Amino acid sequence: FHIYTSDITLHPVNKNEALVRVYHPEIGSSPIEGYKNRREYLLANSKYKPRNNYLISERLYAGWKTPLLSSKKGYFEVLFNPPSKAAEFLLVWANYLKYQRVEPPKNNPHPFAFTNSSGAPETIKNFQRLHRNAIEKIGLICTKELGTTEHGHRHAYGFRLRDAGLSQVEIQKAMHHKSPLSCLVYIKPTLDEVRDELRRLQ
């Protein structure tokens, strides 16, 4: 919800892949020169403010969990897993821009990548509704216990990193955690996985 359209670009080396940078909504560098940071840029060029500055009760609020930023410009890069997903994402992104994204009204411009049907910045509540509808459309139930809520994708990403053989420190970096302990909740094995491993060792 903090991402600008300018934050998703072609990878400078792998031209058929997307390069996605997630900037701090306030102190991240401005997409154009002449502004100290994103907060200054947004306040000068739109009616909006950084989305973590809204009250949690307000429609446009989007939290920021202080991830590990990998650049002095105040961003981290998304690490696709498997790497081939970077090319797949680029196609999805291009189609989104071409067929789905509604441009902001000329009298109410903003740089946010994801918009609703009116061109306003997409809200978390509406995204959750759309995600739930999509999950149910394919015959699944949308619950935290089944891992089918929107946050379940992050857990799945962590599990796939573990299954790919990455170390705890590598997973920490990929998930942008400041502490190596933070990723443990995403990579701990299930009881069934422990049973299977015990059977294998028998």
**What is the distance between the alpha carbons of residues 165 and 188, in angstroms, rounded to a whole number?**
13
Ranges of each domain in the chain: 5-122
Confidence at residue 187, expressed as pLDDT on a 0 to 100 scale: 78
For position 197, what pLDDT does the model report? 84
- Asked whether the whole model's pTM tops 0.85, one would answer yes
Compute CA distances 170 → 9, 162, 187, whole Å: 24, 9, 12
Summarised one tens digit per residue, pLDDT across range 74-119 is 999 999 999 999 999 999 999 999 999 999 999 999 999 999 999 9
- Residue 124 above 90 pLDDT? yes
pLDDT at 192 over 90: no
Least confidently predicted of 162-171, 174-183, 187-196: 187-196
Asked if 49 and 62 count as a contact pair (C-beta separation under 8 A), the reply is: no
Q: Which residues contact 134 (CB under 8 A, 6 or more apart)?
A: none
What percent of the chain is modeled with pLDDT above 70? 100
Q: Say what percent of the chain tops pLDDT 90.
A: 83
Q: Say if CB 9 and CB 18 are below 8 A apart.
A: yes
pLDDT at 180 over 90: no
